[in-house]
Amino acid sequence: MRRPTRDSAESYRKITRRGLIVGGGMSGLVGALALRMRYLQVEQADQFRLLADENRINIRLIPPTRGRIFDRNGMTIAENVPSYRITMVREEAGDVEDVIARLSKLVTLDPEELERARRDLERLRGDTPVTIADRVSWEDISRVAVNTPALPGITPDVGLSRRYPHGEAYAHVVGYVGPVSDRDLERIDAPDALLLIPRFQIGKIGLEAKREELLRGEAGTKRVEVNAAGRVMRELERQEGTSGKDIQISLDNALQTYAHARLSEESAAAVVIDCETGDLLACASTPSYDPNLFVRGISVANYQALLENEYRPLPNKAVQGIYPPGSTFKMVVALAALEAGELDLTETVYCPGHLEVSNRRFHCWKRAGHGNVDLHRSLRESCDVFYYDMALRVGIEKISEMARKLGVGIEHDLPLTSVAAGLAPTKEWKLINRDAEWVVGDSVNASIGQGFVLASPLQLALMSARIATGREVKPRVIKSIDGVEQPSGVGPSLGINENSLREVRKAMFAVSNDRRGTAYSSRIIEDAFRMAGKTGTSQVRNISSGERASGVRRNEDLPWRQRDHALFVDYAPFDNPKVAVAVVVEHGGGGSSVAAPIARDITLQALYGGDPPLSAYPSKDRGRIQTQQEQLRQYRPGPTGDESDRA
């Protein structure tokens, strides 16, 4: 049966439309292919001609510029300086050993560095640039550049290397960088491609390690054209990375370098805290080491010398070292007793020179005793028996609770390596960690900062700042990141009765300003800057009953490691606290004779912003102080520092 004419016409129209659509699509596709062929054959002809001559394109990472570190006033603490190096790409070099032999005729190659390079060339991808010689001179770079046609795969390069202009003064706080190790890579789940570049440096300890991601930045890339001999012909494209963020720390360079210099003859630590903001103004640990040695690659002999030094230069004693706080802990016990209602300000405790507890005699440092002692006198003259009695009344739980409230026994959140928590012990702690019941003698020992109690210099400085202000001052090391101010350490009220704090502060003032105070000889004369403080001496050995009967040996007669630790804490000015200071001298002897003078000197430097006038010191000390200031000045920057080091 024939289709109607109308149906045939409609079918014809549909077929025509479809044909036009398909034809148009095919024409568009052919046109696009033609344009692409023209682009490849005409506009990209030069590039493909080079590729046809056995050239190829490599994409290489551009390490970012590491963020710098400045002190609170803009002084440069960690910077980047140009470093010339020679790199090799294995698959472009061909015969690696032959190329190395030719290179060695032009520049001197360090055997150890060359051996590391050989290992990297074997284990890494063939297109990875490996450093053959680092920190070479400009003359070496020039000779290599002239001879590159005969050195396939070799490229003279310039990069950036870390430098610490103030050396030892900041080693424990800022730390240092070093090449990425296999151990570093094992700790990271998905390592950044940057970390796989041979000799790429990352933070190893201190702030450099704790804020590595901020400081590192992000890599850029570049496309380079390489000929058959492995020589880079030209750079085709570059995409810059993102530099690491600059960090401004809270430390004051002048005060930090002074504190480091003042402690330099001792195995010691000092911490200075701004009472208002919690900023660490100084955080010194001695002896120290030059972090630049680690950046360059410290020798085995030098590292072994650091390990074998009995003064332990590697640990940061200011935050990592924990010590029995000795009599500096007595303010904790006094406040615990006052807050618990176990101590009346008018009552006294009789000190005959010892206290019998559970058939054991606990001695006071003053063999003949202090007689009747109230709170004020107990701190001023550091009577031990008074605090033995307080411990029996209050108990260890409330004492340790007060210690933690004042910052002892807590791991404070700081971007530093191995910040110690210290120890404010409890009955449960001893049962879990020593598998033994708490006994009353443990509380008696703890009352004078001995036994299980442990604190770091950082914690002792915080304790002093919190007593001075009545607030939960928190420590801060990073002041700003790329100019953005970070939260300060201004904290809320501790919730301690102001009357209790006032009485303890008055007693601490007497320690330094009353003739019978244990730190009177280290007082500040300037009325506007008078300080309140507390001495401490912590034993590191047991004294036998026989030795007590015959006379306790003096520290200077003992081997260094058997001598007492010397401690001192203070805040100043007394009526308007600006700074709090803690000093610990390992095996230094007496806190009043060794630690207190150091703390007084550092406190005055912090308050005056430089060398104080001699009138601030007792007259008998002025000649010695003047000589000391002249000696220490050579280790510190001038009043304004070197302007070239400023941001």
Classify the phi-psi angles of 336: left when phi > 0, otherwise alpha if psi is within -120 to 50, otherwise beta.
alpha
Active site residue 27: no
- Tell me which long-range contacts 346-352 makes (C-beta under 8 A, separation of at least 24): 346/374, 347/374, 348/372, 348/373, 348/374, 349/373, 349/374, 349/378, 349/383, 349/385, 349/386, 349/389, 350/385, 351/383, 351/384, 351/385, 351/386, 352/385
Q: Which position among 161, 327, 443, 447 bears the catalytic label?
A: 327
574 vs 73: CA distance, rounded Å: 26
264 vs 285: CA distance, rounded Å: 9
315 vs 298: CA distance, rounded Å: 17
| Cα radius of gyration (the chain) | 35
Cis bond upstream, residue 573 (ω within 30) = yes
Give the single-character DSSP code of 245: P
Amino acid identity of residue 2, one-letter, is: R
Give me the numbers of helices (H) and strands (E) for the chain, helices first please: 24, 21
Give the single-character DSSP code of 256: H
In this structure, the strands spanning 532-538 and 565-572 are antiparallel
Other C-beta atoms closer than 10 Å to the C-beta of 138 total: 11
The total number of residues shown for the chain amounts to: 647
User: Structure tokens of 283?
Assistant: 């955080």
DSSP string over 483-495: TEEPP-----B--
Neighbour order of strands in the sheet with 268-274:
280-286, 268-274, 579-585, 565-572, 532-538
Contact (CB, 8 A) for 388 and 444:
yes
Cα separation values, 220 from 155, 213, 233, 586, Å: 19, 16, 20, 48
Question: How many alpha carbons fall within 13 Å on the CB side of residue 406?
Answer: 29
Other C-beta atoms closer than 10 Å to the C-beta of 550 total: 9
141 vs 36: CA distance, rounded Å: 43
Tell whether the torsion through CA atoms of 522, 405, 410 and 279 is positive or negative: negative
398: Cβ contacts below 8 Å, ≥ 6 apart: 336, 339, 340
Cα separation values, 318 from 248, 400, 594, Å: 20, 22, 17
Amino acid identity of residue 636, one-letter, is: R
User: Structure tokens of 334?
Assistant: 């006094």
Contact (CB, 8 A) for 313 and 287:
yes
Other C-beta atoms closer than 10 Å to the C-beta of 153 total: 25
Contact (CB, 8 A) for 455 and 329:
yes
Q: Which helix (H) or strand (E) holds 392?
A: helix 384-394
172 vs 418: CA distance, rounded Å: 11
Q: Which helix (H) or strand (E) holds 158?
A: strand 154-163
Q: Which residues participate in catalysis according to the annotation? A: 327
